[in-house]
């Protein structure tokens, strides 16, 4: 793209952007003739994908700003107007603590109002699971959540939900994307006072908060135990400057559990001043909580990400604090939930457990041991929500629990997205249950390893920024398809699963079978001879390729030896990843 083409795109953007902050950014770059910065902001339009929008905050087509929000919302409004009956047109809008989240949420509400679509707009920040809950409570046809989840402070995003409270899936996602891409020129937004007066923007807060908190508290499987022993469990909690503060403190408080919140990370702040990444998957994000837990002699550390849909935990073990992975926590929650409900005679007919194709197999074996049927879906919690809807429509299975490796879990069906508030409540109860039987949380995990084998997973993530990065990512996936490896880390590969075309290729003879009945997705999974899985997937929300490795050792009764055995395998897998990326210029 030439400098003049960039200038033309920038000047066109300035004609439509009304927010002075974003206008000034682009104007100053034009004055300085900073073509490198301008190119990054205008080489493409920020892509509205199947997960909505996510990108750096700033002026430009390839940034999160008020004009991009307006275009996305107008596209969604057009889809609603053409696919939803007038009497059912209503949208719930919520936002998290990130910079400009409140402004972006109001812009979306004003655009909906200009299209005579009613919105319920939260008066202040709320977690993503409460937005999902509210869509179902109000009988809305859609929901918008302004959040970039666990991304750094420079980012924001925009997630779209449908009437079932889950993020949009086919055919709605493609239909909405098509409408958004057709939007050009000015996008009208109704004056807020006028919209309020016309009843097109309705402010909400407690009328959703209280039923949502009641729902979470009501999910308790052992309320008598929690009531009697909850005061003896000390939890250190950090919302990481996000939305988890009020709901987690409220719910655990009502259950009678002692919560100590990290004071420096208590208040919402989109700059995330105490952490580089507000991600409970990453150890540095939990450092302040762990320091406080040692000082307080706590029993459990819990952390939620900015929109409170992901939960990370740490537990004491032999005088040290251990970070628990998403796969491990999901395994223990699955065991506790299915075990308890079965012992109480409360498992429904045809109980179902749902997780993703990159989540640990130990969870499926646990659920199956209690008589559950397990379902694997593509990465993305919207596919778990879609499964719940299918079960209800077909009247076949009853969803009990599900989750994904990236610290996302869903208890019950009142919410249709991952819910860190419910997961925090259930995790605290699980810790109490273990204590009541004379065990620690780590003892519980070791029991599962002894029974089902030692499982460990790693995530290898590589970033590819800008247009060049997009080309490298595409070349990498093409090379893996066209020239699949015969071995990884000196272990032969038996098969390659290609989720883009739904096929499995046997490496030994090259035979191909179409046997994957899932939506098309740019994902490759290699099945190693020892049962290990290595999966390659370009992220749908960030400029990166993720490699997931899941491996098992028979030495479940000796976790130290098992971990040592697998660490060598993981090292070989990472070396292989680096070689393949380098081969395509990465």
Domains and their CATH numbers in the chain: 3-204 (3.40.120.10), 213-220+229-449 (3.40.120.10), 454-583 (3.30.310)
* pLDDT the model gives residue 543: 80
In the structure, what pLDDT confidence band is assigned to residue 586 with cuts at 50, 70 and 90? Answer: confident
Helices 559-583 and 466-482 pack at an angle, to 10 degrees, of: 110
Q: Is 302 helix (H, G, I), strand (E, B) or coil?
A: strand
* pLDDT the model gives residue 468: 82
Tens of pLDDT, residue by residue over 365-414, are 999 999 999 999 999 999 999 999 999 999 999 999 999 999 999 999 99
* pLDDT the model gives residue 542: 72
* pLDDT the model gives residue 322: 97
**C-alpha–C-alpha distance, residues 84 and 574, integer Å:** 48
Spatial strand order in the sheet of 300-304? 258-261, 234-238, 300-304, 311-317, 320-324
User: What's the half-sphere exposure (Cβ side, CA atoms, 13 Å) at 445?
Assistant: 21
Q: Is 291 helix (H, G, I), strand (E, B) or coil?
A: helix
* pLDDT the model gives residue 443: 98
> What is the rounded average pLDDT of the residues 183-196?
97
> What is the rounded average pLDDT of the residues 108-123?
98
Q: Is 535 helix (H, G, I), strand (E, B) or coil?
A: strand
CB contact set of 318 (below 8 Å; sequence gap of 6+): none
pTM recorded for the entire structure? 0.94
**Phi, psi (degrees; rounded to nearest 5) at 144:** -125, 130
> What is the rounded average pLDDT of the residues 340-346?
97
Tens of pLDDT, residue by residue over 288-301, are 999 999 999 999 99
375 within 8 A of 353, measured Cβ to Cβ: yes
Q: Which two tokens stand for residue 489?
A: 């880390």
Please provide the average confidence, as pLDDT, over all residues in the chain.
Answer: 96
346 C-beta neighbours (distance < 10 Å), count:
10
**C-alpha–C-alpha distance, residues 423 and 418, integer Å:** 9
Within 344-465, residue ranges assigned H as helices are 361-369, 381-394, 420-436, 441-452
Instruction: Give the number of residues written for the chain.
Output: 586
pLDDT of 50 over the 80 cut: no
DSSP secondary-structure letter at 232?
G
152 within 8 A of 277, measured Cβ to Cβ: yes
Percent of the chain at pLDDT exceeding 70: 100
Q: Which two tokens stand for residue 442?
A: 């780590």
* pLDDT the model gives residue 100: 98
CA distances to 291, 375, 398 from 391, rounded to whole Å, are 44, 11, 7
Catalytic residue annotation:
149
**C-alpha–C-alpha distance, residues 96 and 105, integer Å:** 10
**C-alpha–C-alpha distance, residues 415 and 449, integer Å:** 30
Q: Is 203 helix (H, G, I), strand (E, B) or coil?
A: strand
**Phi, psi (degrees; rounded to nearest 5) at 61:** -70, -30
pLDDT of 541 over the 70 cut: no
Strand partners, 377: 356
- Opening angle at CA 84, ends 81 and 85, nearest 5: 100
In the structure, what pLDDT confidence band is assigned to residue 469 with cuts at 50, 70 and 90? Answer: confident
pLDDT of 220 over the 80 cut: yes
In the structure, what pLDDT confidence band is assigned to residue 154 with cuts at 50, 70 and 90? Answer: very high
**C-alpha–C-alpha distance, residues 240 and 289, integer Å:** 10
First to last CA, the chain: 22
């Amino acid at each position: 793209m030439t400098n003049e083409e960039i200038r033309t795109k920038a000047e066109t953007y300035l004609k439509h952007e009304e927010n002075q902050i974003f206008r000034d950014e682009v104007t100053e770059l034009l004055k300085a003739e900073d073509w490198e910065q301008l190119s990054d902001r205008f080489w493409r339009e920020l892509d509205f994908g199947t997960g909505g929008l996510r990108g750096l905050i700033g002026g430009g087509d390839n940034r999160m700003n008020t004009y991009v929000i307006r275009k996305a919302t107008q596209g969604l409004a057009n889809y609603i107007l053409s696919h939803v009956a007038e009497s059912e047109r209503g949208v719930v809008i919520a936002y998290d603590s990130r910079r400009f989240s409140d402004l972006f949420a109001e812009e979306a509400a004003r655009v909906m109002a200009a299209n005579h679509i009613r919105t319920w707009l939260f008066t202040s920040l709320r977690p993503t699971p409460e937005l999902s809950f509210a869509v179902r409570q109000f009988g809305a046809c859609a929901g918008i959540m302004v959040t970039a989840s666990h991304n750094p402070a420079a980012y924001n995003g925009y997630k779209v939900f449908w009437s079932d409270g889950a993020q949009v899936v086919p055919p709605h996602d493609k239909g909405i994307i098509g409408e958004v891409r057709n939007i050009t020129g000015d996008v009208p937004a109704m004056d807020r006072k006028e919209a309020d007066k016309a009843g097109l923007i309705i402010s909400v807060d407690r009328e959703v908060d209280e039923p949502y908190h009641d729902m979470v508290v009501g999910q308790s499987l052992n309320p008598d135990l929690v009531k009697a022993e909850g005061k003896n469990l000390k939890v250190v909690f950090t919302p990481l400057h996000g939305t988890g503060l009020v709901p987690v403190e409220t719910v655990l408080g009502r259950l009678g559990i002692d919560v100590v919140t990290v004071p420096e990370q208590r208040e919402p702040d989109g700059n995330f001043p105490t952490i580089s990444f507000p991600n409970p998957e990453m150890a540095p994000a939990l450092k302040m909580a762990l320091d406080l837990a040692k000082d307080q002699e706590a029993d459990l550390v819990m952390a939620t990400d900015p929109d409170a849909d992901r939960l990370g935990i740490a537990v004491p073990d032999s005088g040290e604090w251990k970070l628990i992975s998403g796969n491990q926590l999901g395994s223990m929650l699955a065991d506790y939930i299915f075990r308890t409900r079965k012992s109480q005679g409360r498992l429904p007919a045809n109980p179902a457990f749902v997780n993703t194709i990159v989540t640990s197999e130990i969870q499926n074996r646990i659920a199956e041991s209690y008589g559950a049927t397990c379902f694997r879906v593509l990465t993305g919690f919207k596919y778990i929500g879609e499964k719940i809807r299918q079960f209800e429509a077909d009247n076949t299975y009853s969803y009990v629990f599900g989750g994904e490796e990236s610290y996302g879990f869903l208890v019950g069906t009142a919410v249709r997205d991952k819910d860190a508030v419910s997961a925090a409540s259930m995790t605290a109860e699980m810790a109490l249950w273990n204590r009541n039987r004379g065990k620690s949380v780590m003892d519980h995990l070791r029991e599962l390893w002894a029974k089902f084998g030692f499982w460990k997973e790693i995530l290898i993530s590589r970033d590819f920024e800008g247009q060049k990065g997009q080309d490298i990512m595409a070349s990498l996936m093409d090379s893996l398809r066209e020239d699949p490896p015969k071995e990884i880390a000196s272990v032969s590969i038996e098969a390659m699963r290609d989720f883009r075309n739904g096929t499995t290729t046997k490496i030994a003879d090259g035979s191909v079978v179409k046997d994957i009945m899932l939506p098309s997705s740019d994902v490759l999974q290699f099945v190693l001879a020892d049962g290990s899985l290595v999966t390659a997937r370009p992220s749908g929300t960030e400029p990166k390729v993720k490699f997931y490795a899941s491996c098992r050792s028979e030495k479940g009764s000796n976790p130290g030896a098992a971990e040592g055995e697998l660490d060598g395998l993981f090292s070989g897998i990472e070396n292989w990843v680096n070689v393949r990326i380098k081969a395509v210029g990465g």
